[in-house]
Amino acid sequence: MEDPDSAACRSAAFEWLQSELRSSDATLSRSSLEIGFPYNSEFVRLVGPQGIFKPKQIAHYPLSITTTTKGPYQDSFDPSGDMLLYSYRGADPNFHENRKLRDAYRDQIPLIYFFSTIPGIYLAIYPVFIVGDNPTQLTFEVAADDMLQLRYERDDTDDDTRRIYITRQVRQRMHQRSFRDRVLRAYEERCSICELRHTRLLDAAHIIPDKDEGGEPVVSNGLSLCKIHHAAYDSDFIGIRPDYQIVVRPDLLDEKDGPMLKHGIQEINDQQLNVPKRVKERPDPERLRVRFNEFSENAHK
């Protein structure tokens, strides 16, 4: 069991995250996590130089585990998708930070998992618990849980089922947020059609839907679009050719409706898409071709 002072500090960290994320855009910067939150006339840091981190205000168990930005989001899960995987610090299972995380596993201490969506930006997953230890693979298994389980008496008999369900939901959140942040960064946080720069009004749109073959969560399968143009693209009001030319559905060009249709849709016909500077981050012409063929077929129905 954790000593009362450390447990109170840990609870304060969870409460601060809840308050902070209600007023932010669901992610936190590395700098804000390094500063931490005010507690008993000082600041408690949430991350440190190493991935397994314990602030000085907590006596023994770690407070957080942190990823770095490296590769697709699937690398953070076991093959079933039911559990997050977290790598040991180094290759020695008995390294002191690995031992402390193992202690948190033994005593079922709640932790915070900071997932890096792009360099310097983190999605906070909490509470999480270490639910498995694999010394031969040098990984811990991690499951997400419900904050309500920290406030009321836990029903241990239902832990596994609940945690698998919540962790699967977390996987989807991580997928969506990582894809969104990488796409918006590539497009310098502006709509690729109208150049709107208000990030809360921007989406990362898939060219090929993620449920279809070729719908991987990679930047070249994404477009940064404002919510209006995202809806127009998904509804086949507009299409984008492999040469990045925007095409408005023919029947809409003669329609009379108001300024939004005129300036937001009709006037972008034959306009060129604004694409990322880095060639590998630009929309994949082959994916655009597949999607544009579907648009053309639907436009003539």
On whether both 195 and 131 belong to a single domain, the answer is no
Output the average pLDDT for the chain. Answer: 90
Residues 92 and 165 in one domain: yes
**pLDDT of 129-181, one tens digit each?**
999 999 998 999 999 998 877 665 555 557 888 888 898 888 888 889 999 99
> Where a domain ends, among 157, 183, 209?
183
Question: How confident is the model at residue 157, as a pLDDT?
Answer: 56
CA dist 116 → 7, 170, 241, 247 (Å): 26, 14, 33, 36
Q: What is the per-residue pLDDT for 152? A: 52
Mean pLDDT of 15-40: 89
Predicted structure pTM score: 0.85
Pairwise CA distance, residues 57 & 3, whole Å? 11
Are 140 and 46 in the same domain?
A: yes
pLDDT at 196 over 90: yes
Same domain for 49 and 173? yes
pLDDT for the residue numbered 73: 35
Tell me, yes or no, whether 179 and 198 share the same domain.
Answer: no
Using an 8 Å Cβ cutoff, are 239 and 299 in contact?
yes
Mean pLDDT on 12-29: 87
Tokens linked to 93: 């299972």
**Which residues have a Cβ under 8 Å from the Cβ of 155 and sit 6 or more positions away?**
none
* Phi and psi torsions of 294, nearest 5°: -65, -40
Q: Are residues 78 and 196 in the same domain?
A: no
pLDDT at 212 over 90: no
Last residue of a domain, one of 183, 213, 243: 183
Kindly report, residue by residue over 253-299, the tens digit of the pLDDT. 988 888 889 999 999 999 999 999 999 999 999 999 999 999 999 87
Per-residue pLDDT, 77: 78
Say if residue 51 is in the same domain as residue 168: yes
Do 225 and 255 fall within a single domain? yes
Last residue of a domain, one of 183, 198, 227: 183
- pLDDT recorded at residue 156: 59
Burial class (CB in 10 A: 0-12, 13-18, 19+), 96: exposed
> Is 144 in the same domain as 289?
no
Residue 93 to residue 96: CA distance in whole angstroms = 9
Looking at residue 131, its pLDDT comes to 94
Q: Please state the domain count of the chain.
A: 2
Backbone angles phi, psi at 95, to 5 degrees: -60, 145
Backbone angles phi, psi at 247, to 5 degrees: -125, 125
Q: Give the tens place of pLDDT for each residue, 48-104.
A: 988 999 999 999 999 999 987 654 434 477 777 788 899 898 889 999 999 999 999
Distance, CA of 186 to CA of 277 (rounded, Å): 8
State how far Cα 210 lies from the chain centre.
15
Q: Residues 179, 207: one domain?
A: no
On whether both 123 and 263 belong to a single domain, the answer is: no
Q: Residue 159 is part of a domain; what is its CATH number?
A: 2.30.280
Question: How does DSSP assign 248-279, residue by residue?
Answer: E-HHHHT----HIIIIIIGGGTTPBPP--SSG
Q: Do 95 and 147 lie in a common domain?
A: yes
Segment 213-224 shows an average pLDDT of 90
Tell me which residue range forms the domain holding 206: 190-299
